[in-house]
Amino acid sequence: MTVQIDPTSLAVIKGRLEQIADEMDATLFRSAFNPIIAEARDASHGLYHPSTGETLIQGKNGLPIFVGTMAFAVKHLINHLKQNHLTIRAGDVYLFNDPYEGGTHLSDFKLIRPYFKDNKIFCFIASVAHWHDVGGNVPGNYNPAATESHQEAILVPPVLLIDRGVMNLDIVHILQANSRLPVSLLGDLKAQIGALELGNNRMNELLRDFESPVVWQICQHLKTVAEQMMRAHVSRLPDGCYSADDWLDNDGTNDDPLKVAVDLTIHGSKLVLDFSRTAAQCSGPVNVSRSTTIAACYVGLKHLFKDVPANSGVLSAIEFIIPENSLLAATAPKPVGGYTETILRIIDVIFVSMSKADPSIVNGCAYGTINALSLSGYKASGERWVMFSFFGGGHGGHPEGDGLNHGNAPISMATIPPLEILEAAYPIYFSEWALRPNSGGEGRYRGGLGAIYEIVLREKDADVFLFGDRSRWGPPGVCGGEEGMVNFFAYEHNGKMVSPPLGSKAIDIKLRRGQRVRLETPGGGGYGDSALRSERDIANDNLQGYVSSPLIVPTEDT
């Protein structure tokens, strides 16, 4: 049934729907136990189509990468229910973390709950969040040496966690038994359940105030608008094929580079992203599933076309060519724990290829690695501790100015956990936390600076693991801009600072009290020819200590 939509109802209901997702985000961030959710906001919530799983609405403060992957996750649950002749009821909550069907990696747990109206599923309400530790060989689950997913974490297929409002404690006990941090796991799980409950209550309130056909029609209208806007943006670009290649340092098990390449074709309002020239799936954990690749493309394009609404309509306007069994369409049990490094490279090649079509909408590439660092050990009391965190770097220069210094990865709205939180939670302290001079790529507009982090252990001993990249190829600039400085990692051993053989990937480093690890993260790529940089900007770079070349005093106001 088609319902007439007046502008006022459209604005109010759109705002109410977005507020529901935003409130779920806020509820989880405030109640989660682990700082990766509570401080870094590695989570997301949304409303999804009852039969296709497509994204209807997503919160603004969670990870954009989950927009695409959660649609696949909800669809996977719908298929699971059909194939097994299962009936989902009001109050049910399903839980799973399958990265091949729902995207991302095994640390990201999806909780999905149906919302019923008039005895029919109106939509699915879903929550996804990064749990601190769910088994595997490495505390924190970022295992750079994994050769199969079983070495990364426990894999849970769709299971009925809550049956019509009653929790299945057996499932909870299995999950806790497979975690080094069972209390944190339980706290995060309950926080996600609470967020879903809030979403259900807010939907009740919305559908008391507005008739369900009107709300549904607006959801469909927003998808149509997103697709139309995306096609309009594409149609304004010049027709042609624009290509870009980039590289991952290695896969963590073999020291060979891996190509990520795209051929971006524009023909009228049609956009094709062809990844056929990308490397095959590999032994190590930098593989990603097809759904994750599509989600990464969504994020990259949303950076370029910022005004398009965040829903599945964006993806309706794009054709994807992703060969089976490639690095970007890996199958089980290929390891996928370091998916973050690969999707950042996907975004980078989209930026570089699009810069050849329209330089006015792109920026240089960001630092391109999350540097997932884990330290773990035992306190004097015998209590286990696991510090897992990721770290920031420089963003690319853009048509209007220099890149952001010390930002977070462009796959998310996450924030870098404050050092005060990390120092309070774990037996470590930061002896240095600073901008990294000279790390931004040169250009008319300079890439933003990376950062320096030096961490000293306060406990007796600890094991250290790092999963990063960009230690060989810096983040590319665009339109003549230079690449940013490469990643650097070192740890103290026998009185000397030592770097691991694979650059930014390392396992089983032993640290003793008073010893340190050091990260120097990449800067962003530059934008435009550095010969066109103004003398005033050059002088300011030197004055602020962003670069270490001699001070140049401007002779005129440029």
Average pLDDT, stretch 17-46?
Answer: 93
> 16-55: string of b/e by CB count within 10 Å (b at 16+)?
bbbebbbbbbbbbbebbbbbbbbbbbbbbbbbbbbeebbb
Q: Which of 190, 148, 203 is nearest to 16 (CA)?
A: 203
The phi, psi pair for 386, rounded to 5°, reads -135, 115
What integer pLDDT is reported at residue 413 of this predicted model? 66
- pLDDT for position 60: 81
Retrieve residue 537's tokens: 């900007």
pLDDT recorded at residue 65: 82
Picking from 52, 55, 46, the residue whose alpha carbon sits closest to that of residue 22 is 46
Q: How far is CA 540 from the centre of its chain?
A: 33
pLDDT reported for residue 36: 87
The pLDDT-based confidence of 3 (bands split at 50, 70, 90) is low
Instruction: Give the pairing of strands 270-274 and 318-321.
Output: parallel
Q: What digits encode the pLDDT tens for the residues 379-418?
A: 999 999 999 899 999 999 999 999 999 999 888 666 788 8
Average pLDDT on 122-151 reads 93
The percent of residues above 70 in pLDDT, for the chain, comes to 97
In the predicted model, what is the mean pLDDT of residues 461-467? 96
Upper half-sphere CA count for residue 190 (Cβ side, 13 Å): 10
> Of the segments 5-19, 63-77, 271-285, which one has the largest average pLDDT value?
271-285
333 burial (CB, 10 Å; 0-12 / 13-18 / 19+) is: middle
103 Cβ partners below 8 Å, 6+ apart?
A: 66, 68, 69, 70, 72, 73, 289, 291, 292, 295
Mean pLDDT score across all residues of the chain = 93
pLDDT of amino acid 2: 63
Residue 160 CA: distances (Å) to CA of 96, 173, 366, 458:
9, 14, 40, 42
For 189-218, how does the pLDDT look when each residue is reduced to its tens digit (9 = 90+)?
A: 999 999 999 999 999 999 999 999 999 999
Q: What is the pLDDT of residue 292?
A: 94
CA pair distance 99, 331, nearest whole angstrom: 9
Q: What residue type is 212 in one-letter code?
A: S
Segment 221-245 shows an average pLDDT of 96
**pLDDT for res 549:** 55
Cis peptide leading into residue 333 (ω within 30°)? yes
Give the model's pLDDT for residue 434: 96
**pLDDT, tens digit, for every residue of 497-529?**
999 999 999 998 999 999 999 999 999 999 999
- Residue 114 has phi, psi (to 5 degrees) of -80, 145
Tens of pLDDT along 249-289?
999 999 999 999 999 999 999 999 999 999 999 999 999 99
Banded model confidence at residue 553, pLDDT cuts 50, 70, 90:
very low
Q: What is the pTM of this model?
A: 0.93
> At 556, is the pLDDT very low, low, confident or very high (cuts 50, 70, 90)?
very low
| β-sheet with 496-498: strand ranges across | 428-435, 451-457, 516-520, 488-493, 496-498
pLDDT-based confidence at 557, cuts 50/70/90? very low
Domain residues of the chain, as ranges?
Answer: 7-226, 363-558
pLDDT above 80: residue 455: yes
pLDDT at 63 over 90: no
Q: Residue 524 in contact with residue 409, Cβ under 8 Å?
A: no
Q: What's the pLDDT band for 558 if we cut at 50, 70, 90? A: very low
Chain segment 140-188, per-residue pLDDT in tens: 888 999 999 999 999 999 999 999 999 999 999 999 999 999 999 999 9
What span, in angstroms and rounded, lies between the C-alpha atoms of 515 and 458?
9
Asked if pLDDT for residue 552 goes beyond 60, the answer is no
Per-residue pLDDT of 330-377, as tens digits, reads: 999 999 999 999 999 999 999 999 999 999 999 999 999 999 999 999
Mean pLDDT of 454-463: 97
* pLDDT at residue 68 in the model: 78
